[in-house]
Amino acid sequence: MTQTPGALAGLTIIEIAERVSGEYTAKLLADLGAEVIKVERPGGAPTRAMGPFKGGESALFAYLNTNKKSVVLDLDQPEDRATLDRLLSRAHALIDDHDEAWCENHGLSQAAVAEAHPALVHTVVTPFGQGAPAEWQKSRPINVINAGGWAYHSPSETPPDKPPLKGAGRFLSDYEAGIDAAMCTMASLLRLRRTGEGQFVDISEVEVQINRIDCVLDRMLAGDVDPSAERTAYDMGGPGTSFACADGHVFLFMTTRQHWKALCELMDNPVWTQEFREDWLEFDCTAPNVAKFRENFEGWIALQQKLPITEAAQKAGVAMVPVNTAADLPKHEQFIHREFFQKAEHPAFGEVAYPGACYRMSATPVQVRTPAPTLGADQEETVNAAS
């Protein structure tokens, strides 16, 4: 891919974040072309020590820090703290994810930054937002997922003989909050350009989760369903779930007679389907019928290949999709067509296929221009420039 200036070229962002939420926020801005200067503590950011690892290097850190520069500052030391202020004086935004006590102790509270740097966009991502009790700010992603309601969904569709799912992903709440934080930062940068005024952006990871609430939780909030400890309390309803096929798994979703008729035709109308009413999904979707369907369908789907059968199902009007593994995704035809995975060289990993952005910009495409920096790689160039 030809190197072109990014959409945010010319903007300078200082990142002092040390969790996935803040680092992902800054990564999105860096991938869009902003100059992101990552300030790391002596010894490096905590994410450098988080797995998975390859060749002693963190794959998580490698993903979160593409296109960034690295400098090392000990913000507990007055001299280094003064250097940060010099960096901020020529920057357009500051990205942070520390709790309020840490910010206060380091002269980086909302009020302190606004007074010292009024023309700066100051974005802070925390588990519960500003003003939350101190002990809440020590929350981890699994706490945020639970507090936002999403973990209630995790037992959904789990086979009764299996343990509940553990949650919605190790850092899902961080990534979701990072997306909103980056969007708010960009909107504030536009305001800065128009008015010359900075502002404080307060992102609550839990509120982001609540904002993403889905129809299952909506039914509970509306009073249609009572929350309970039952394993099936949060199922979408109907016979749909994941089924094993010949080369993996597929996920089926059915709620209407049109779905049922199309599926019957896809299966060449086996005899067992005659035991069900045509409108059973709408008016006779009982637990015994669901169990009977799943028992019969499992035998048929077990003989099918996941890609051909899901393609045929979708053409027939059946909501069936393949359950893709991490190994499947880089080979997916649509992702290849959209050049979603970008190949780039990493000093420790060699050629890497980085997940790209979910959008394509014709004039300013998102590009992996440089891999995650080594610790302090840009110390001399960046710190000297700020002196």
233-282 pLDDT per residue, tens: 656 567 888 899 999 999 999 989 999 999 999 999 999 999 999 999 99
Q: In the listed set 329, 353, 368, which residue is the last one of a domain according to the structure?
A: 329
Same domain, yes or no: 103 and 203: yes
Indicate the residue among 300, 329, 358 that finishes a domain.
329
Do 317 and 355 fall within a single domain?
A: no
| CATH of residue 363 | 3.40.50.10540
Quickly state the pLDDT bin for 125 (edges 50, 70, 90).
Answer: very high
How much is the pLDDT for 243? 93
Residue 179 has pLDDT above 80, yes or no: yes
Q: Could you tell me the pLDDT band of residue 166, with boundaries at 50, 70 and 90?
A: low
The string of pLDDT tens digits covering residues 343-357 is: 989 988 999 999 998
Q: Average of pLDDT values for 23-47?
A: 97
- Asked if 346 and 288 sit in the same domain, the reply is no
**Of 4, 11, 43, nearest to 26 (Cα)?**
11
Residue 6 lies in a domain: no
Structure confidence at residue 142 (pLDDT): 86
Output b/e per residue, 40-57; b: 16+ Cβ within 10 A.
bbeebbebbebeeeeeeb
Q: What is the pLDDT of residue 229?
A: 62
Residue 2 lies in a domain: no
Residue 123 lies in a domain: yes
First to last CA, the chain: 36
Query: Do 371 and 312 belong to one domain?
Result: no
Confidence category of residue 369, pLDDT binned at 50, 70, 90: very high
Minimal CA–CA distance to 204: which of 126, 95, 117?
126
State the pTM of this model: 0.89
Check whether residue 38 and residue 67 sit in a common domain: yes
Task: Residue 325: give the domain boundaries.
Answer: 242-329
Domain total in the chain: 2
Any domain includes 171 = yes
Q: Are 356 and 339 in contact (CB under 8 A)?
A: yes
76 band by pLDDT with thresholds 50, 70 and 90: very high
282-329 residue pLDDT tens: 999 998 999 999 999 999 999 999 999 999 999 999 999 999 988 999
Most confident range (mean pLDDT) of 1-15, 177-191, 350-364 is 177-191
Sequence letter at residue 89: S
Q: What is the pLDDT of residue 223?
A: 79
Do 175 and 71 have their domain in common?
yes
CATH number of the domain at 314, please.
3.30.1540.10
Q: What percent of the chain has pLDDT over 70?
A: 91
Is 143 found in the same domain as 51? yes
User: Are 25 and 83 in a shared domain?
Assistant: yes
SS3 content of the chain, % helix, strand, coil (to 5): 40, 15, 40
CB-based contact 109:100 (threshold 8 Å): yes
146 and 74 share a domain?
yes
Paired residues of 96 in beta bridges: 124
Q: Which pLDDT value is given to residue 220?
A: 74
Compute, in degrees rounded to 10, the torsion defined by CA atoms 48, 50, 52, 58: 0
